[in-house]
Structure 1
Amino acid sequence: MRVLRSSQLLAGAALAALALAVPATAGAAVQTSHSGWRWGNPLPQGTALNALDFAGARGYAAGDFGTLLRTDDAGATWRGINTGLTEPLGVLRVLGPDSLVVAGRCALRRSDDGGRTFRRLPWTASDASCTGGIVTVSFPSPATGFILLGNGNILRSTDSGRTWSRRTAVPGTAATSASSGVSPTDLLFVSDTQGFATTDGGNVFATIDAGNTWTPVVDEPFPMRSLTFVNPSVGYAVGDAPFVLATTDGGSTWNELGLPADTPGLRQIRCATTDLCLGLTPAGDRLVRTTDGGKTWVSLSASARRLQAVAFASPARAVSVGVRGTTVTSDDGGATFSPLGGALPGRFNGLQASGAGVAYAYGDRGSLARTTDGGLSWTEIDAATSDTVRDVSYVSLRTGFVLDVTGQLLRTDNAGSSWQILNAGTALRPQAVAALSSAIVVLAGPVGVRRSTDGGQTFKANPDKVIREDSLFGIDHSGGVVLAFGPKALRLSTDSGRSWRAIKRPTPKTRVNDVDLVGSRTIYLLDAEGTMWTSSDRGRRWRALPGLGTELGYAVRFSDSRHGYVAVGEFGADQAGYVLRTDDGGRTWQPQLVAARALTANGIAVAGRTSAYALTRANGLFSTTTAGSTARRSRLSIRAASPVVAKPGGTIRIDGRLRGARGGERIVVSLREQGSTRWLYQEVAAASNGTFTVVTRLNHTARFVAQWSGDERMRGTGTPALKVAVRTP
């Protein structure tokens, strides 16, 4: 169920060493905000977090790539919320335990059921483009809210965000003077009518009439960045100044409170009481703390990684978050912090599933990690080599084999506590290993196969002419059925590697990119041109699967003849970590967004019909027990205005519909003309009734496929390939 590709081999001597078992668990796995995949490394998750807010023990954190998290225990554990967004989220306001507003540059969403559902707050016509962009939002009450835009404009809603009206812009910004270089930085309303705004021109402005009139109350020679009010009377303002501004009379007057001498100002300040506050430096390398209302401050380092937000769940409980999902917590009011979760130290490039709940990640410098709980947590075990691990094959939790790029083969019989170096019996460096049992081990490539019947102590080359000179880079097996393959070779053994026969490729010109043997008879093959093929009779007959809709697939893994995945480097114009999932044997494919970065070449593994693992190029480990989906099913269909185009160069119209759409969903419609190796695509937005149309010219008979990656309400879906013929003169 896996494949290994040929690559440049690295030279170097192998180093035998005792494997260390170091768990990277602390903190529960978090579901991603885009699909049914969950994080396994790092924990609790690995996306940068930019904003944090609490309503008692219930809290939320927002970050890059549309990430939104929820905690119900003051930050001890977190779970992912599906937002349907992929842009960075930098604005978060919690109105109550179940109510929150989250925003990116143009996108604005509100939930009043704890994140189970969201509604778009229509302050602009489209999430894709807007004037100014959102700087921040403020909701002093559930019904009344304000938006501060990058040009200084302010919008107000009195109906929970359903409609908006313009208020007076922040003075001195571009909205009041086109030549102004001053930008607004924060907005905070302490009631439906009284609020404050800051700018990087050093000003704090106040209003008592809901933004109709603004009055300057602070004018400093330093940019101001952040506001917080503990109650309507006591508040703080911070910026690039070496002091904090404090008010105890509702903002009428402000006093300067000095920071530690080496503090370069603050980007944010949050308070639990009128006296207890935490501030965050612009670089995110330090926090400052006061317990006496700003009269004195203590500087502290809470994390080696950049922190980007801080908040209190209670006077005793403080949480700070930052880059790569960094999360630190405090139970003494911010005096000391402890990290939540962590990351494995290794660098991984491949995955291999091995039994119920067990999988292995392997990679550079002997990196090897194992999960025994279906990917919820991973333990570093490391192989006894200093070189990159090329392949692994385990027959049980205790017994397994590791092959590195120098051709060194290792065996463990104690779950990786120690390793034995084996002799492959050749100067050529094997490309793949398959352990059929603790005794029978098969090595493939770079030329032919070698087989051991004594657990790897000795190997013999197979003398069969049909395989002995084949260029091979991968091997897969199901019981005693073994499939070895290379760019131009498919070789099958039904007797545990003793004898082999040739399998014809789908076409004489087919170059093999990836192969998956499913059961004893079914084969899925992805060729170098991105075409997916399948055979249900061990390669005697092949059938193309055009429903894939892309030539960019590079790894294929199936759990059975109907259920499987293909890793793709992009979906439409979105270059992120996608997989395509099928549950009908490849007739249709559902796009699933796993992560911001693409999967590695060997970054997908299956463990059953609904269980799978994924590895991204950013070293993120993911797993799913729900076949990668959580939302309800969706339905997508397309049809041609005519099944035949009268002549080459003629125009064809393709009409489609996404059932249950609310409008604006991004549909990718792809076409591949006969004789072409490429799929061309067009992205279209669904109308409010779910319909969409594509018009194009065809020179040759073509197949069309429409696909949608889903949102927070419905899972992604794809259509079968639709054939449109072109008549030739």
Structure 2
Amino acid sequence: MKTSSFQYQVTLFSLLTLLCISSNKIHAHNPHDMVFGLGISPNFATDKTLFLSTDAEATSDQYTNILRSTDGGATWTRLPNGLDNVFANISIRVSPNYGTDNTVFATTRGDGVYQSLDQGNSWQLSNAGLFNLKVKELTIAKSGNNNYVVFLTTMNGQLYRRARTETTWTRLQNSTLGIQLVAVSPSFATDLTVITVNKTGNLQKSTDGGFTWSSIENITGTTFHDIAMSGGNPKEIFLATNDGIYYSNNTGATFTHKPANLPLEPINNVSLSPNYLSDRTVFCTSLTKAVYKSTDGGQNWIYHASGAVVTGQTAPLEEFSELQVSNTFLADQAVFLSAYDGLFISRDGGTTWAQRQTRKNLLTGLALSPNFINDQTAIATTYFGGGVYTSTDRGTTWTMERTGWTVPRSLSLPMSAFDVNFSRNQSGSPTAVATRNTGHIGFSNNFGQNWTVKYIPNIPEISPFAVYTNTFVLSPAFETDREIYLGTRSHGILQTLDGGSSWRWLRGVPTTSHIVSLAISPNYANDRTAFAANRAGKVWRTTNGGDSWLQSLKFDSITLRGLPGQQHLSIAVSPQFAADKLVFIGTSNGLYRSKNGGNVWTTMTQNHIGPGNAIHQVEFSPNFSNDRLIFVNVHGKGLYKIKLNNQGNIAQSKNIGTPLLQENIQFTEFRLSPGFALDATILGVARDSTYISNDSGLTWALAGKVEW
């Protein structure tokens, strides 16, 4: 279900909207288990297969992921191969013949349609014939034993059709009518019936599979959010609207308002049992309550609390995004609710519900000891789990290390941390620094066994929220100058000059968008240069230690893909910056290079990293002065090892991430050993697992898993 308008005459809508920031969501509830889209296998009773879209491991600061479960939601696998989307809010639909054709569709609000023919293990764009890539809704009708027809609406109201054997979409109606909702008959194979609703309430019917249409009814004065249609003849139709349920028992010729005992607020989802003609079962959700069930065709409703709550952190109609009934409902009695609060499943026909966790103990950050080649030590951070972990055997085994972290007080309670790093160039044991998601930074001088934790105080004049850390960078001389730059969600950039005892807000960089990347010159003691980027797709530079910042106007001339408030940039500064002034920025539209310290930017035009590719992360080899290597993690495409010539141009390139993608693995973060020249070691993290290469990425092995 996706809505067509946000015009409500309800006070709650206004209240909730004040709590939402459409392009920069707060994400304050724990866990951040938001589900944007949900796809269910038509054979769920036997194969237990689900697909969903959700935020990446680093919540809201990477692109939307698709996950698959084959055990009813108990465990999940990320499906990154070929999914190079830069627009959020993916919707998912599964072929009615999934058991034989393995086909899944994923739609986006700007990338168009992705299709998988192998159960989501790889994805390909399927946009031929589409004049608009902002897809609103996709509906699949079974048209025979092995066939189906797909109907698609765009955000500007166009309607398209495509049969299973076709590779090009056929536009059935342009944007003039403004089609918003589509419903297909459960008996489409024999009656070819399709119903549409447009933005003004006009309903159309087709009985030849969508090629010709006739108007059947016009309902004015309300907004439509969802539609459901029964089989049989005549067909019953349910419309979820701002004013409750509208019902037709004559295939849409006439409708009656059927509020029954539902709450007096918008109804945003409605779904029928596949056995509706015999069991008369209907489910719906209202703006603030989920789920209602009727067993008499909508005459009476009973509320069964699903456990999903209104978070106040997204648009009201996105709180309960989809309500679906299992195609095998007669056997499994399964009903599914996807919500911003998580995924909720009922196994007894909607009476009782349980939440399925999709985002537990996910790895968000990784740091390798400066002496990794000898001590083999790494520290990792996780989201909604153990928080901070240490490994002393190259990522094989991990120990949760919370001593000194006062919140949470119990090891059984989840802790979320988002970044970790080691100081460099120190004598003795290096200092490890880690940040908790809200208002705490920790320091350890014994590889995480004990932490000294300092509170980062709220700064009310900047934001009413606690300081929420996305990323940080240490001065190369941190052991002596004690400087840290902190990138936050709503406080811009903060800086400490005394190891976290006090903080100052660095003016010049807006606080209205998440800071997603920070980088610092290795020659910082002399040039005082650092870089910052935010989710709005803007880049800043300081050359005086943070006292003032200048926006890179040359970078502003670059056209980025995706929405302005959903950009994910990655900055990397050359280890030889004092001499070569080389900086790279990975963007939603490829990799960009500056050879003069950020004054001018040029695109790297190679197919695999150039325009049209979304870059997750860029890293220089620690031995760059000799090997001239950089490593680029490309969203949905793999991890590239690139050799540069002395002019900073690409001399050689190899995708060392292909074998990982083939196993449904793409790194959230990766690090090169500080002794890379000698050990050729790369360590990467994905979901709850660590992976290692000891030959510069030629081969990979599972190193270990973090557990909580």
Amino acid at match of 1:74: G
Q: Provide the C-alpha distance between the structure 2 equivalents of 1:332 and 1:242, rounded to a whole number of angstroms.
A: 29
Residue 245 (structure 2) pairs with residue 244 (structure 1): yes
Q: Do the aligned partners of residues 211 and 707 (structure 1) sit closer, same or farther apart at CA in structure 2, a change above 3 Å counting?
A: farther
72, 79, 82: which one aligns with 1:81: 79
What per-residue deviation string (whole Å, max 9, x for no partner) do you get for residues 672-728 of structure 1?
Answer: 24xx55351347684999999xxxxxxxxxxx9999652434435545155289xxx
One-letter code aligned to 2:123: F
Q: Give the C-alpha shift of residue 393 in structure 1.
A: 1.4
Look up the match of 1:326.
342
Q: Is 2:182 aligned against 1:186?
A: yes
Moved more, 103-112 or 381-390: 381-390
Inter-CA distance 244–473: structure 2 relative to 1 (3 Å threshold) = closer
- What is aligned with 1:670? 593
Unaligned runs of 5+ in 2: 1-27, 56-62, 312-318, 370-375, 409-437, 458-472, 485-495, 499-517, 532-538, 544-555, 614-627, 650-708
Deviation at residue 576 of structure 1 after TM alignment: 4.2
Separation in 2 of the partners of 1:326 and 1:406? 30
Cα pair distance change 1:211/1:380, threshold 3 Å: farther
Alignment match, 1:310: 323
- Distance of aligned partners of 1:514 and 1:328 in 2 relative to their CA distance in 1, 3 Å threshold: same
* 2:355 counterpart of 1:339: yes
Please report the TM-score for the alignment, with normalisation by the length of structure 1.
Answer: 0.50
Letter of the 1:298 partner, please give it: I
Separation (CA, whole Å) in 2 of partners of 1:406 and 1:66: 30
**Residues 257-314 of structure 1, C-alpha deviation per residue, up to 9 Å, x if partnerless?**
4342424232221233413332122x35433222333221123443223221122335
1:199 counterpart letter in structure 2 = N
Structure-1 separation of matches of 2:648 and 2:387: 49
**Maintained 8 Å contact 1:278/1:288:** yes
Asked whether the 8 Å contact 1:50–1:63 carries over to 2, the reply is: yes
2:660 match = none
- What do residues 311-358 of structure 1 show as CA deviations (whole Å, max 9, x unaligned)? 2335322222222x622222322223233339899xx99987798786
- Does 2:158 correspond to 1:122? no
Tell me which residue corresponds to 2:207.
208
Displacement of 1:61 in angstroms is 1.9
Tell me how far apart the structure 2 counterparts of residues 66 and 717 of structure 1 sit (CA, whole Å): 25
Give the 3-state SS of the residue equivalent to 2:167 in structure 1: coil
Letter in 2 for 1:121: S
What residue number does 1:228 align with? 228
- Whether the 8 Å contact between 1:590 and 1:708 is mirrored in structure 2 is no
- 2:180, 2:199 within 8 Å by CA — same for their partners in 1? yes
**Cα offset, 1:242, TM superposition:** 4.1
CA contact (8 A) 1:371 1:377 kept: yes
Code of the residue aligned with 1:297 in structure 2: it is W
Contact in 2 for aligned 1:245/1:254 (Cα 8 Å): yes
Task: Deviation per CA, 1:59-81: give whole Å up to 9, x if none.
Answer: 22235744322222233333222
2:70 to 61, 69, 72: 72
**C-alpha distance in structure 2 between counterparts of 1:379 and 1:339, whole Å:** 28
Equivalent positions of 1:173-572 (< 5 A) are: 174-176=175-177, 184-188=180-184, 190=186, 191=188, 193-221=192-220, 222-229=222-229, 231=231, 235-240=236-241, 242-246=243-247, 256-272=257-273, 273-274=275-276, 275-281=280-286, 283=287, 285-301=289-305, 302-304=307-309, 305=311, 306-313=319-326, 314-315=328-329, 316-323=333-340, 326-341=342-357, 359=380, 369-371=387-389, 383-384=405-406, 389-393=440-444, 395=446, 399-404=449-454, 471-473=481-483, 528-530=528-530
Identity of aligned residues (%): 12
**Are the counterparts in 2 of residues 194 and 207 from structure 1 also a CA contact under 8 Å?**
yes
Which residue of structure 1 lines up, in the alignment, with residue 36 of structure 2? 49
Q: Is 1:720 matched with 2:707?
A: no
Letter in structure 2 aligned against 1:119 = Q
User: Larger radius of gyration, structure 1 or 2?
Assistant: 1
Kindly tell me: are residues 336 and 683 of structure 1, through their superposed partners in 2, closer, same or farther at Cα, counting changes over 3 Å? farther
Could you tell me how far apart the structure 2 residues matched to 1:342 and 1:159 are? 31
Per the alignment, residue 14 of structure 1 pairs with none
Whole-angstrom CA distance in 2 between matches of 1:330 and 1:377: 36
Instruction: Give the AA of the match of 1:332.
Output: D
Q: Which of the pair is proportionally richer in helix?
A: 2
Please tell me the root mean square deviation across aligned C-alpha atoms, in Å.
Answer: 5.7
Distance change >3 Å, CA 259–CA 381, structure 1 → 2: farther
Question: For 1:186 and 1:401, how far apart are their aligned partners in 2?
Answer: 56
Aligned residue runs from structure 1 range 634-645, under 5 A: none
Match of 2:700 in 1: none
Gaps of 5+ in 1: 1-40, 177-181, 408-431, 434-443, 450-469, 475-485, 489-511, 517-522, 532-549, 555-568, 594-664, 693-703
Match of residue 53, structure 2, among 47, 62, 70: 62
Deviations 1:194-249 (A, max 9, x none): 21111232333211022232223333233332223454555542232544345566
Q: Which has the higher strand share?
A: 1
Contact 1:318 1:329 in 2 (8 A): yes
Residues 71/406 of structure 1: CA separation in 2 closer, same or farther (3 Å cut): closer
SS of 2:119's equivalent in the other structure is coil
Aligned amino acid, residue 392 of structure 1: F
- Residue 267 of structure 1 aligns to a residue whose secondary structure is strand
- Equivalent residues of 2:31, 2:359 under 8 A apart: no
Question: What is the CA–CA distance in structure 2 between the aligned matches of 1:225 and 1:400, rounded to whole Å?
Answer: 53
Q: How does 1:6-21 map to 2 (within 5 A)?
A: none
Match of 1:615 in 2: none
Matched residue type, 2:92: L
Q: How many angstroms apart in 1 are the aligned matches of 2:87 and 2:297?
A: 37
Q: State the shift of 1:139 in Å.
A: 2.5
The DSSP-based 3-state class of the residue aligned with 1:139 is strand
How many angstroms apart in 2 are the aligned matches of 1:689 and 1:392?
39
Deviations 1:115-135 (A, max 9, x none): 11222222457xxxx548432
Identify if the C-alpha distance between structure 1 residues 330 and 552 changes in structure 2 by more than 3 Å, giving closer, same or farther.
Answer: farther
